[in-house]
Amino acid sequence: MVRHFLRDDDLTPEDQLAVLDLADRMKADRLAFTPLAGKSVATIFEKNSTRTRLSFEVGIAQLGGQPIVVDGRTMQLGREETIEDTSRVLSRYVDVVVWRTYAQARMSAMASASRVPVVNALTNEFHPCQVLADLQTIRERHGRLAGLTVAYLGDGANNMAHSMLLGGVTAGLHVRVAHPQGFAPHEDVLADAGKRAADTGGSVTALTDPRAAVAGADVLVTDAWTSMGQENDGKDRISPFRPFQVNAELLATANDGAIVLHCLPAHRGFEITDEVLDGATSAVWDEAENRLHAQKALLSWVIGP
Ligand code: CP
Ligand code: NVA
């Protein structure tokens, strides 16, 4: 069985814990593991990227592998070649495919024809590598995961909201998604997260009151109000979102010791203020660093026995 990582719940709670534990070990001794020696990893980007691209390229090299970074917009995939045919060819060259693309259905099509693991480096629907780094960061700051409450504020239908729901409940978190009307998480993701939560002791709540979401929260998470590809979708992605801004006033209503996460890039003055992003409760730079460690651990898991 090829181990793909297409969405957060492709890791069982036990798998996720093993990956997070390995990520901590990778961080403590970043050159101690070389499971990719003699292996090549294609990392293909159809959307812009700073963190994901750089952290995978560095991480693959640190694991002893050869990273091949490709702008997917210049591949034949961008012309007439099908995803499945592309996948068959990639399987003959590389040992892992890491891909950032648009619809999740494209990711599933790549995996369906692949003989090697496929890793989701962001789709419209999910950003599971990011949430592994987020979980590593939360555990570093709070010393545990299960039982903590995470409040995500913003577009409840985007990749970060969906991945925080699925990845968060896998770790036993209580995940609240606060969103404007019309920007609720997809029903199927809520249902899948709810089922997983029943096994782990976590819980899932979607609501439209940001203050109710933040009351009693240990972690505040936000993300862009306009994700890549949504620039011209005709929706007002500013005014309905204003009450969901992560600012000092809202943060003051969270639990003592609450931390703030943002996957970045941040739109300062929109979803988050400078004061909070640059303030003492912000864990965003550690979160960005942890992309490297968490992805190295994930790559070890996908190629592992
Ligand atoms: N957080 C994140 O995925 O950043 P990039 O878009 O820069 O890769
Ligand atoms: N939701 C954002 C995340 C960027 C890392 C986007 O998809 O653009």
- Annotation-wise, does 107 bind a ligand? no
Q: Is the pLDDT of residue 80 over 90?
A: no
Distance 92 CA to ligand 2 centre (A): 31
Domain boundaries, the chain: 8-127+290-303, 130-287
pLDDT digits (tens, 9 = 90+) for 123-140: 999 999 999 999 999 999
Shortest-distance atom of ligand 2 to CA 160? 1
Superfamily of domain 8-127+290-303: Aspartate/ornithine carbamoyltransferase (3.40.50.1370)
Query: Which residue has 């040992």 as its token pair?
Result: 95
Is there a binding annotation on residue 100? yes
Q: What is the DSSP letter of 257?
A: T
pLDDT tens, 226-241?
Answer: 999 999 999 999 999 9
Substitution site in 137, 264, 295 for ligand 1 pocket (most atoms within 8 Å of beta carbon): 264
> Residue 190 — very low, low, confident or very high, per pLDDT cuts 50/70/90?
very high
Residue-level length of the chain: 305
SS3 per residue for 9-78 = HHCCHHHHHHHHHHHHHHHHCCCCCCCCCCCEEEEEECCCCCHHHHHHHHHHHHCCCEEEEEEHHHCHHH
- Within 13 Å, how many C-alpha atoms sit on residue 186's CB side? 13
Q: Which helix (H) or strand (E) holds 262?
A: strand 259-262
Whole-complex ipTM: 0.99
Neighbour count for residue 161 (Cβ, 10 Å): 30
pLDDT of residue 31: 85
Mean pLDDT of 45-72: 98
Ranking 5-9, 47-51, 79-83 by mean pLDDT, the lowest is 79-83
Q: Is the CB of 52 under 6 A from ligand 2?
A: no
Which of 52, 106, 103, 77 lies closest to 299, judged by CA? 52
Answer whether the bond into residue 265 is a cis peptide, omega within 30°. yes
Mapped onto helix, strand or coil, the DSSP state of residue 304 is coil
pTM of the model: 0.98
pLDDT for 86 beyond 90:
yes
Average pLDDT over residues 176-184: 98
- Catalytic annotation, pick one of 127, 162, 262, 293: 127
Are domains 8-127+290-303 and 130-287 of this chain identical in fold?
yes
- Spatial distance between the Cα atoms of 265 and 49, rounded to a whole number of angstroms: 9
Whole-number Å distance between alpha carbons of 275 and 260: 12
Evaluate if residue 180 carries a pLDDT over 90. Answer: yes
Instruction: Give the pLDDT of residue 232.
Output: 97
> What kind of fold does domain 130-287 have according to CATH?
Rossmann fold (3.40.50)
Average pLDDT for the chain = 98
Q: How confident is the model at residue 79 (pLDDT cuts 50, 70, 90)?
A: confident
268 is catalytic: no
The residue whose C-alpha atom lies closest to atom 7 belonging to ligand 1 is 50
**Residue-level pLDDT at 253:** 98
Task: Say if residues 185 and 179 touch (Cβ distance below 8 Å).
Answer: yes
Question: How is residue 288 written in tokens?
Answer: 């960005």
pLDDT digits (tens, 9 = 90+) for 251-269: 999 999 999 999 999 999 9
* DSSP at 185: P
